Amino acid sequence: MPEVIFSGPDGRLEGRYHPQAARDAPIALVLHPHPQFGGTMNNKVVYNLHYAFYGLGFSVLRFNFRGVGRSQGEYDQGVGELADAAAALDYLQAHNQNARHCWIAGFSFGAWIGMQLLMRRPDISGFVSLSPPANMYDFSFLAPCPASGLIVNGTEDRVAPPRETETLAAKLQEQQGITVTHHRIAGAGHFFEGPHMEAMLDSVKDYVARRLTEDTR
């Protein structure tokens, strides 16, 4: 998978871009966990999520937020990271101008950034949020949530406790015009360790495949 370097708001950003041959393939942007706690685009969850989308026929981009790996800049409390994500989506869309669908997927901190980007880009048609840290960040900006999507968390998550995730999902499910699906992986922790990784990926792939089928009818 080719390494790419593209312009961000605070310098160069490093990514991995995996395009499809079909010019009208859907696109997906995958966002990594917290930069100050070891989060990178090569995080195991992010890596596997990237390939899950690719296997479903998406052209996929994941990248390092500012200050991570070869990406320039410094951590910016989520403000700059949101701008980085917007620049990454611009790059992805510029290379896929005939894309039929646009999805955003994020893990942990990346889920929080992804949901903010969702609010700012009406062209995003679906989302996947893994282990959203609803106990650490305010998700009240999702009022209303503009697109249907999937939230997945582990029942044994000690970083983002399930109670807060349940509350977030319930609030989103009350909104009209969208459908937010919530899947719980029994016994899984924040990082979906061991056999829970496959269970999480199967959940994501089943959901996204169903959505693509519904959207092409």
For position 217, what pLDDT does the model report? 58
Inter-residue contact 72 to 15 (CB < 8 Å): no
For 10, half-sphere exposure in the C-beta direction (CA atoms, 13 angstrom radius) is 19
Q: What is the pLDDT of residues 3-50, one digit of tens each?
A: 999 999 999 999 999 999 999 999 999 999 999 999 999 999 999 999
Q: What is the pLDDT of residues 155-189, one digit of tens each?
A: 999 999 999 999 999 999 999 899 999 999 999 99
Please determine, for residue 1, whether its predicted confidence score (pLDDT) is greater than 60.
Answer: no
Structural domains of the chain ordered from first start: 3-215 (3.40.50.1820)
Q: What is the pLDDT of residues 98-157, one digit of tens each?
A: 999 999 999 999 999 999 999 999 999 999 999 999 999 999 999 899 999 999 999 999
Please determine, for residue 77, whether its predicted confidence score (pLDDT) is greater than 70.
Answer: yes
pTM higher than 0.95 for the full model?
yes
**144 preceded by cis ω (within 30°)?**
yes
* Residue 206: both structure tokens together: 């089943």
Of 100, 106, 57, 101, the closest CA to residue 81 belongs to: 106
